A and B are shown apart, each in its own frame.
Chain A
Amino acid sequence: MTIDPRLRELRRVAIVPALNEVENIGRVIDELRAFDPGLEIVVVDDGSLDGTARAAAAKGARVLRLPFNLGIGGAVQTGFRFAFENDFDIAVRVDGDGQHDPAQLDRVLAPVLSGEADIVVGSRFAAMGANGYRSSRTRRIGIRLLAGVVSRIVGQRVTDTTSGFQALNREGIALFARDYPHDYPEVEATVMVFRHRLRLVEVPVEMRERGGGRSSITALRSIYYMVKVLLAIFVGLFRRNVVPQEGSE
């Protein structure tokens, strides 16, 4: 595959959060390499018990092994901190379960490379009707509802606030390295991005069914997360000092 020539001059990293993805992680790494051999791959192992870290290291990826499960927010932020401290120019985030197809990364990267966006989100719903994303009913309704609430708050139409298929430039990396929400972070992060006046652009992507293994999100959990996330968003709107200072927690 030929990659965008502008990408070649940049230091670029793929952040791959993974929890018990021993069956999928190898393939994800292979596909990332196939897309761009110059991409540094960092797998953040969020306390897996199934040898995910070893499988990733065997494929030659850098592995950040968390000593216990931090949840997706804490895991992903570890990757952003790595990217920030090691002076990467561009980061892409690709989930370790194989849902995101690295072959579509050129689409996700384009607005960052052209300087149109600080953060690009691959959306399952940006192109309506395309390839109908399949998921549990509760989850689909939740995703729609959150997208509606967030669109209204930020004043720009966003269709998929729960997608972890993203690309970020240095500004985006710096923001998320300093401050990133917990648990079900993408929704709050979207609002945060706008409050910091960074530019967010959505591009349509198709996501695959996950490979082997099970998703870590159940229906009951989705409802709990919904309540929690809505609370966080609304309370967050009244925050003046948006970013916590280092060491204040």
Chain B
Amino acid sequence: MMTYEFLQHYWCFVVALLAALLVFLMFVQGANSQIFELGKTADERRLLINSTGRKWEFTFTTLVTFGGAFFASYPLFYSTSFGGAYWLWMLILFSFVLQAVSYEFQNKLGNLLGTKTFQVFLVLNGILGPVLLGGAVATFFTGSNFIVERDNIINEATPIVSRWANASHGLDALLDVWNVVFGLAVLFLARLLGNLYTYNNIEDAVLARRNLSALWKNTAVFLVLFLAFFFHIMTKDGFAYDSATGIVSMEPEKYFHNLFGSVPMLAMFLLGVIAVLLGVVGTYGWKSKDGTAFRGGIWLAGIGTVMVVVSLLLTTAYFNTCYYPSNADLQSSLTMQNSCSSEFTLRTMFYVSLLVPFVLAYIWYAWRKMDQKRLTHAEVQDHESEAY
């Protein structure tokens, strides 16, 4: 049952799921990118920041776990992408470092840089985080410029296995228009999720009205960008490989065939799209059982986001596809087969991953306990609330 091939597919799914959860949890970044648009007064901004401030650790932890899981299951990707696309990843990390301290420091006595500086840091992370992470993920479809040569270990000229093929070290990803389009699509997805989350989490009529006003605009921009990228990848050639020989070649409409050729994958994708749209539309049109406005759009859109991202990421890796293709040397492209850890490690990690449902259960329980009542101005201003 647990063959090496199964474990490779399993870990690919786990990494894709973590990436999808990360995209969903970037509602934190999405809301932060709109601090000054939604919050016109200091109190409103504080309310917004305290709302996302109770969830930012989840986003951060998911990013770290995503990195750890990728490292453990696909170490060649970790070394090639992080060591090669150095500047791209460093910019992402810088933006997340700024975020980590901004919540705690921004409103404290003795803050040498002032409240506004840290709020600007949150906005910076809110924009750069999704755009750059989205751009990095888009290279799974568009390719990157690296060369992998395992025999370099015994090469007297250089013992380094992975190299970037140009001097930009990852910034070249941002020169590809489709990477930027996808990065922006992720940003606007995060923004609409941020609107849905704060609409759900905060009890404030003014902020609710502004959220509803921003939601449709963010959704419209997201749909345009996402559909453009989607049609591009569905019609472009994909990076395929022969599982017997490992030889990589270009295959016309590879991603289209991957997605539409697999019923479970297509179903997951379509259900996800419908859930995202229902989450947005329902927020405007539906009523809750008690007759109040429907505020659960974040959950529908969140689940939908996870499903769409998982299905899209799996189309880059399943069905004999190179998930991290190289434009510099096609045969250096990374596949599930040639870049994964040993069977022993994947199996060991499989047993560890059985803890994940338990982890999700206590997160759900704690989240539910903490969010039983919506956040109010009164709670944030209560000195005992330890608010940011």
Real complex partners, A and B? no
Instruction: List chain A positions with a Cβ less than 8 A from chain B.
Output: none
Instruction: List chain B positions with a Cβ less than 8 A from chain A.
Output: none
